[in-house]
A = this chain, B = another copy of it.
Amino acid sequence: MPNHRSGAGDPARTLRLLWRQPDETPRRGPRQGYSLDDIVTAAIELADTDGLDAVTMRAVAQAVGVAPMTLYTYVPGKAELLDLMLDASYARMPRPDRSGEPWRARVAALAEDNRKLFAAHPWAAEVGTGRPPLGPGLMAKYEYELRAFDGTGLDDVQRDAALTYVLDFVRAAARAAAEARLARRESAWSDEQWWAANAPLLARVLDAQRYPTAVRVGAAAGAAQNAAYSPEQAYEFGLARVLDGLGVLVDGA
């Protein structure tokens, strides 16, 4: 399991699972003791509480209450399970009617909805979606989010590109936040310990002659963020820029 990706395996089988289309041939043998949703729900709970790395086939199986290999009668493999987890999370997102608001507010809300998704399910930002799971959750999400650009005058191609742009931004911000969190948790060195251990060498090596701008700006940014990097502030700054950039496209330069 080199990386966490999605969309391997027989695509038709995956699609049938996503849309919960059972095989039409009558099933012989014993009934399955659990449902696909049981598996997916257990996996999502595991990922929410302990992170994506905790989602091993053995752990999911134990959470459900079956032997590891039993999972393979519900799901072709781990990649498909990730697809199903992602699509289920998409399906559960709230989709209030915002047709009365101006487009800028709608797009900001779109970003916020996705930020909340990644806040509730940090693992969702990590799953690579080279080929996204074309399930009912993603379709409902796509349909809903495209509407945020109603009334902007963008054509269909621009509309898709604009949505992709916003979503990619939020996802990148969520990834950065997750990485920062992970670094803190896993390293066994707190930020203070880290700086205390590094300060002597850094002081010797980062002379302001050689890196004048970097030292000055880095100090100012570090002071403003109370850390070397603040995911929240990066998100806020970035979102304002994203909206401004789309504004130029929409309102004309």
Q: What bracket does the count of chain A residues touching chain B fall in?
A: 35 or more
Evaluate contact between A53 and B21: CB separation under 8 angstroms.
no
Tell me which residues across on chain B come within 8 A of A237, comparing CB atoms: 158, 161-162, 164-165
Nearest to A195 among chain B residues (CB) is B11
A64 within 8 A of B: no
> Given the interface contacts A15-B198, A221-B156, A248-B248, does A5 sit within 8 Å of B183 by beta carbon?
yes
Q: Which of A1-57 contact B (CB under 8 A)?
A: 2-5, 7-12, 15-16, 19, 21, 53
From A2, A126, A129, name the one whose CB has the most chain B CB atoms within 10 angstroms. A2
- A residues 44-93 touching B (CB-CB < 8 Å): 53
Residue A134, interface by CB 8 Å: yes
Q: A141's closest neighbor in chain B, by CB? A: B214
Residue-wise, chain A 144-166 has the 8 Å CB interface mask toward B (1 for contact) of 00110000000111111110110
How far, in angstroms, from A128 to B43 measured CA to CA in the complex? 24
Expressed in whole angstroms, the minimum distance between the Cβ of A196 and any Cβ of chain B is 9
**Residues A214 and B139 in contact in the complex (CB < 8 Å), given A2-B53, A161-B233:** yes
Q: Is the CB of B5 within 8 A of A221?
A: no
Interface residues of A (CB under 8 A from B): 2-5, 7-12, 15-16, 19, 21, 53, 126, 128-132, 134, 136, 139-140, 142-143, 146-147, 155-162, 164-165, 168-169, 171-173, 175-176, 179-184, 186-187, 189, 194, 197-198, 201-202, 205-206, 210-214, 216-218, 220-221, 224, 228-229, 233-234, 237-238, 240-249, 253
